[in-house]
Amino acid sequence: MSQIPDWEKLSDDELQSMAEAGHEILNCYRVLAKSSDNIIGEILKGEETFFEMDHYPPGDVYDPESHSQYYYHAHREGEHGHFHTFLRSEGMEEREQPVPDQTHMEYMEEREDNICHLIAISMDNRGFPINLFTTNRWVTAENWYRAEDVHRFLDRFEMDLVPPSWPVNIWITNIVRLYKPVIAELILKRDSAIENWQQENPGQDVFEDRDLEVTSEQDIDVQAYLQAIEREINRRVTEDT
Taking the C-alpha atoms of residue 18 and residue 210, their distance in angstroms, rounded to an integer, is: 35
Question: Is 191 part of any domain?
Answer: yes
From 37-41, 122-126, 204-208, the region with the lowest mean pLDDT: 204-208
Please tell me whether residue 194 adopts helix, strand or coil conformation.
helix
Q: Above 90 in pLDDT, residue 104?
A: no
Residue 29 has pLDDT above 80, yes or no: yes
Q: Give 107's pLDDT tier (boundaries 50, 70, 90).
A: low
Q: Pick the closest to residue 120 from 212, 64, 182, 170 (CA basis).
A: 182
Question: Taking 90 as the threshold, does the pLDDT of residue 134 lie above it?
Answer: yes
Question: In percent, how much of the chain has pLDDT > 90?
Answer: 81
pLDDT at 21: 98
Q: Report yes or no on 14 lying in a domain.
A: yes
Residues 43-62, mean pLDDT to the nearest whole number: 87
pLDDT value, residue 47: 77
Tell me the mean pLDDT in the region 125-147.
95
Domain span including residue 59: 7-240
Average pLDDT for 130-147: 95
The more confidently predicted of residues 54 and 64 is: 64
pLDDT at position 19 is 98
Tell me the CA end-to-end span of the chain in Å, nearest whole number: 32
Average pLDDT estimate for 73-100: 94
| 59, burial (CB in 10 Å: exposed 0-12, middle 13-18, buried 19+) | exposed
Mean per-residue pLDDT for 193-219?
94
Q: Is the pTM higher than 0.85?
A: yes
Strand partners, 70: 61, 85
Q: Say how many domains are in the chain.
A: 1
Tell me the per-residue pLDDT of 153-191, one tens digit each, with 9 for 90 and over. Answer: 999 999 999 999 999 999 999 999 999 999 999 999 999
Per-residue DSSP letters for 154-168?
Answer: HHH------SS-HHH
Q: Is residue 12 part of a domain?
A: yes
Compare 109 and 190 and report the one with higher pLDDT.
190
Q: Is residue 1 part of a domain?
A: no
Assigned domain for 2 exists: no
